[in-house]
Amino acid sequence: MQKVLTRKYSDIECIVGVATGALPMGAIVAQAQRLPFAYVRPKAKDHGLENLVEGRISKGERVVVIEDLVSTGGSSLKAVEALRNAGAEVLGMVSIFTYAFPQAERAMREANVDFEALASYPQLLSLLKSKGKLSTEEEARLSEWREHPETWGR
């Protein structure tokens, strides 16, 4: 993940994790990069300061969002929206894994979010196939699921 950040984003000022799965990885990356860390909750707290974004984010601060998993992109893009509403400049998002659903890729483009995943579902299928752990038929069936998960198997 650090290699991706160094290659793509030379001017990061803060690492932001998306609660809760990405918090450990985001904190580790922030420490390794010697950068501040913040995180975005799925919804604002209903008590105290009622924060959605936890941590200090200054107006115009350049941040990169860390995610554990991107499926449809919905929760990830809600985090981006919260950061933008807080005044941050979101440089991009890096996740550990993505299913690479077409609707997620489209949503990232439409929201103008540069996105990269360390690993993807298509890569996983390819690896399993190359190691003889997946037949051509199984690969086709699993690939079909990724293209149309909402109607698969019906």
Q: What is the pLDDT of residue 152?
A: 73
> Region 28-52: what's the mean pLDDT?
85
Which residue in 119, 115, 96 sits closest to 105, CA to CA? 115
Q: Which residues pair with residue 16 across a beta bridge? A: 38, 65
Q: Of the candidates 7, 6, 33, which has an alpha carbon nearest to the alpha carbon of residue 17? A: 33
Q: How confident is the model at residue 44 (pLDDT cuts 50, 70, 90)?
A: low
Render pLDDT for 81-133 as a digit per residue (tens, 0 to 9): 999 999 999 999 999 999 999 999 999 999 999 999 999 999 999 999 999 99
DSSP state of 59: T
Residue-wise burial string across 111-124, b where 16 or more C-beta atoms lie within 10 A, e elsewhere: bebebebeebbeee
